[in-house]
């Protein structure tokens, strides 16, 4: 099976990281983050996934409606 690997730039990751630093543990959707920083929603999602993989941000589930619909909060790892 083919694997798709999408990489994000350091600038995109930094924009997402800086915004998450201002959240203070609030629940927020990826679309709201994207709108606030002026990036496309898909690029924001990939940048956030890269930050989680690099252990710079922790993705914490806070509400699960079903197995496919989970709300998260994001916490900066110091």
What are the residue boundaries of the structural domains of the chain, listed by start?
10-76
pTM, whole model, 2 decimals?
0.86
Candidates 1.10.260.40, 3.40.50.300, 1.10.10.10, 3.20.20.80; CATH matching 10-76: 1.10.10.10
Q: Where are the beta strands (DSSP E) in 1-78?
A: 57-66, 69-76
Contact 61, 51 (CB under 8 A): no
CA 71, CA 30: separation in Å to the nearest integer?
Answer: 10
Model pLDDT for residues 62-78, shown as the tens digit of each residue: 988 898 888 899 999 97
- More confident site: 3 or 11: 11
């Amino acid at each position: 099976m083919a694997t798709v690997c999408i990489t994000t730039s350091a600038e995109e990751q930094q924009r997402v990281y800086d915004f998450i630093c201002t959240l203070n543990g609030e629940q927020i959707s990826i679309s709201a983050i994207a709108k606030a920083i002026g990036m496309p929603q898909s690029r924001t999602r990939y940048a956030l996934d890269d930050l989680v993989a690099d252990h710079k941000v922790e993705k914490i589930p806070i509400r699960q409606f079903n197995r496919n619909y989970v709300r998260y909060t994001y916490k900066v790892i110091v």
